[in-house]
Amino acid sequence: MSKKKYAVIGHPIGHTMSPFIHKRLFDLQGIDAEYTKLDIPFENFAEEYKNTLSKLDGYNITIPHKRTIIPYIDEIDEKAKMYGSVNTVDNKNGIAKGYTTDPDGFLKALSAAGIVIGGRVVVLGCGGVARTVAYEIVLKNVPVLFGVRKEDVQIANDLCAEIKNTVKNAQVRVCLIDEVCGDIDLLINATPLGMFPKVDAQPVKDDVIAKCANVFDLVYNPLETMLVQKAKANGAKASGGMSMLVWQAVVAHEKWDNSVYDVKDIEQLCIDASNELAAK
């Protein structure tokens, strides 16, 4: 049986963690597979799809090709269709099917941390990852409050309008990030504040963190941001973004080969991936 071949594609591809994470996931399943990274510029995409991507067993997609890929594949999963984005393709029996694994990766990361979506949820930021987590929350009939900078209020309002138009009875609203206050059941940081090298930064003040029962920080470098550290010190359940990065990769393997992983193995992989990232 020939070795299966997979890759991550993007442009520029840079120091992606995908090869490290996916190789470990294949090893945990005892699957002999090759996983590489491919830098594909827009102008070469059609040629590369025909000559390379269509011949792989599967691949992951990062910026800027998550939408570029859609016209090329045969099928698209319903959730990927809703998001208008594909980050994983499975090639089986001559059929290329696209998925987005970020939403389920987010949900699995929360579950692994023992965090339940409910009550008062605040999402800091209004970019692409904030959009993903907000959709998953309102799909569970839980309201979302976006906390954003003054210059991002219109972007956040537009995102709220999009969500309301897509999800029936969705409850979403916006406030300034400095006005976030009161008891919070789940605080999600979808801003880059706290990311290496500015590890002393945090998106909200200590008095806000003190009133959070659960915190999920989408920043994955470092493994535990100042926000996560302070939340844990207050007795809250808290987790960082490396878990979402790894769990969304796990979801790709579920699509590719129906793999099932032990939570403890994934926790160790998050630590190892963080150490690998720090060593780069």
Q: Catalytic positions, please?
A: 66
Encoding tokens for residue 154? 């219109």
Is-contact 216 113, C-beta < 8 A? yes
Strand, coil or helix: 221: coil
Amino acid symbol at 247 = W
Calculate Rg over the CA atoms of the chain: 19
Is-contact 117 108, C-beta < 8 A? no
Is-contact 59 86, C-beta < 8 A? no
152 half-sphere exposure, CB direction, 13 A CA radius: 18
Is-contact 98 86, C-beta < 8 A? yes
Q: Which residue has the tokens 């990852």?
A: 129
Encoding tokens for residue 204? 């909200």
